[in-house]
Structure 1
């Protein structure tokens, strides 16, 4: 087993996971920030007001970036399965 390959693979997997999470979460955080600024400006103190726009943004980003997310994850696992013989021998 080549430890350099394993370290490189896990580093790439970690970067892929971070990028996938950022694609889904960052737009929701920005929408939550805009809603919070709106609430502060209008002095509306409703906790559930920011939930629905963030949920809708998360679903929209899942629909928009879903094919890329699945393709990237599929490529990662394909690369892992193809390199199993190199890891064993």
Structure 2
């Protein structure tokens, strides 16, 4: 196994991490933005107000996208294990 194969595996692994985490991070970001705009408009300065909506919507996102996320990670691991004989050369 040479450096290009290792580099390719690392690149694919990082891409999977970004692809799987991006939807949940976007849900959290958009929720925080909406709550911040609401706080600005209503002049409510409660710091804990953003916590509950973020937790609930992030949890809902994990419930909705969890199967897809697991499938992406499982497919990547399956690809690594099926090509294992190529990597040990």
TM-score range (shorter-chain normalised) is: over 0.9
Q: Write the mapping of 1:1-80 to structure 2, written as runs, cut at 5 A.
A: 1-80=1-80
Q: CA RMSD of the aligned region, Å?
A: 1.0
Q: How far is 1:22 from its partner?
A: 0.9
- Gap runs ≥5 in structure 2: none
Q: How far is 1:7 from its partner?
A: 1.5
How does the TM-score come out when normalised to structure 2? 0.93
Q: How far is 1:10 from its partner?
A: 1.3
How does the TM-score come out when normalised to structure 1? 0.93
Q: How far is 1:5 from its partner?
A: 2.4
Structure 1: distance between partners of 2:44 and 2:30:
19
